[in-house]
Structure 1
Amino acid sequence: MPESNTSDLSVITSEEETKKHKERDIHSLRKKKAYELEEAFRKFAGQKMLVFIKGHPDPDSIASAWAHRFIGSNLGVEVNIVYFDPVSHAENRALVKTLGVAMIPYSDEMDLSDYTCYALVDTQANDFPALEKMPEGAALFSVVDHHRNMGKLKAYFTDIRENAGATSSIYAEYLKYGSVSMTMGNTEDVELSTALHHGIRSDTDNFLLAREIDWRAATYLCTYADNDMLRVIASSPITANTMDILQKALASKEIRDNYIFSGVGFVRDSDRDGIAQAADYLVRREGIDTAIIFGIVDDKYIHGSLRTQSTTVDPDSFLKSVLGVDKETGKPYGGGRLDKGGFQIPLGMFSGCSDRELLWELVSRTIKSKFLKSLGG
Structure 2
Amino acid sequence: MPSLPNRATASSAEVPALNPEGDLIGAKGHCEAPERMQAYFETLESARGCRQLVVIKGHPDPDSIASALAQRYLGRFFDIESTIVYFDEISHPENRALVKALEADLRQYREDMDLGAFDYMSFVDTQSPHLPVRVAKLPPILTFVDHHKMLGGFEAEFVDIREDCGATSSIYAEYMEHSAHGLRHGSAELSRLATALMHGIRSDTDNLLLAQPIDYRAGAYVRQYIDQDLLRLVSKQSITARTMDIIQRGLNNKVIKGTFLLAGVGFVREEDRDGIAQTADFLMRHEGVETAMVFGIVNGDVVDGSLRTSSATIDPDAWLKALFGADSAGRHYGGGRRNKGGFRIPLGLFARCRDREALWGIGKKTIEDLVFEKIGVEQAQHEKG
Q: TM-score, normalised by structure 1?
A: 0.89
Q: Report percent identity of matched pairs.
A: 48
- Tell me which structure has the larger Cα radius of gyration: 1
Match of residue 55 from structure 2 = 52
Q: Secondary structure at the match of 2:183?
A: coil
Q: Secondary structure at the match of 1:329?
A: coil
Tell me, in whole angstroms, the C-alpha distance in 2 between the residues paired with 1:371 and 1:334: 13
Q: 1:223 to 1:28 in 2, by over 3 A?
A: closer
Q: Secondary structure at the match of 1:132?
A: coil
Higher helix share goes to which structure? Answer: 1
Q: Does structure 1 retain, via aligned residues, the 8 Å contact 2:127–2:146?
A: yes
- Name stretches of at least 5 consecutive residues in structure 1 with no aligned partner: 1-18
Q: Does structure 1 retain, via aligned residues, the 8 Å contact 2:149–2:317?
A: no
Q: 1:65 to 1:239 in 2, by over 3 A?
A: same
1:118 aligned to which of 117, 121, 134: 121
Q: Name the aligned partner's letter for residue 257 of structure 1.
A: G
How far is the alpha carbon of 1:281 from its aligned partner?
Answer: 0.2
Q: Does 1:365 align with 2:368?
A: no
Aligned residues: 353
How far is the alpha carbon of 1:132 from its aligned partner?
Answer: 2.4
Kindly report the root-mean-square deviation, in angstroms, between the aligned alpha carbons of the 2 structures.
2.0
- Alignment deviations for residues 207-227 of structure 1 (CA, whole Å, 9 cap, x no partner): 111000000000000100112
Matches within 5 A, 1:295-314: 295-314=296-315
Q: 1:344 to 1:150 in 2, by over 3 A?
A: closer
Q: Name the aligned partner's letter for residue 175 of structure 1.
A: M
- Name stretches of at least 5 consecutive residues in structure 2 with no aligned partner: 1-21, 378-385
Match of residue 383 from structure 2 = none
Tell me, in whole angstroms, the C-alpha distance in 2 between the residues paired with 1:129 and 1:344: 13
Q: 1:178 to 1:291 in 2, by over 3 A?
A: same
Q: Name the aligned partner's letter for residue 222 of structure 2.
A: L
Q: Name the aligned partner's letter for residue 119 of structure 1.
A: S
Matches within 5 A, 1:208-357: 208-326=209-327, 328-357=328-357
How far is the alpha carbon of 1:111 from its aligned partner?
Answer: 2.9
Q: Does structure 1 retain, via aligned residues, the 8 Å contact 2:149–2:336?
A: no
Which deviates the most, 271-280 or 256-265?
Answer: 256-265
Q: Does structure 2 retain, via aligned residues, the 8 Å contact 1:308–1:339?
A: yes
Q: 1:156 to 1:146 in 2, by over 3 A?
A: same
Tell me, in whole angstroms, the C-alpha distance in 1 between the residues paired with 2:151 and 2:265: 33
1:94 aligned to which of 92, 97, 107: 97
Q: Secondary structure at the match of 2:359?
A: helix
Tell me, in whole angstroms, the C-alpha distance in 2 between the residues paired with 1:29 and 1:64: 18
Match of residue 127 from structure 1 = 130
Q: Does structure 2 retain, via aligned residues, the 8 Å contact 1:124–1:143?
A: no
Q: TM-score, normalised by structure 2?
A: 0.87
Q: Does structure 1 retain, via aligned residues, the 8 Å contact 2:115–2:139?
A: no
Matches within 5 A, 1:180-191: 180-191=181-192
- Alignment deviations for residues 22-55 of structure 1 (CA, whole Å, 9 cap, x no partner): x79x957644433322222122222211111111
Match of residue 107 from structure 1 = 110
Q: Does structure 1 retain, via aligned residues, the 8 Å contact 2:32–2:214?
A: no
Q: Does structure 2 retain, via aligned residues, the 8 Å contact 1:140–1:154?
A: yes
Q: Does structure 2 retain, via aligned residues, the 8 Å contact 1:106–1:130?
A: no
How far is the alpha carbon of 1:96 from its aligned partner?
Answer: 0.8
- Alignment deviations for residues 114-168 of structure 1 (CA, whole Å, 9 cap, x no partner): 31111011124222256826xx572210111111234622222221111111110
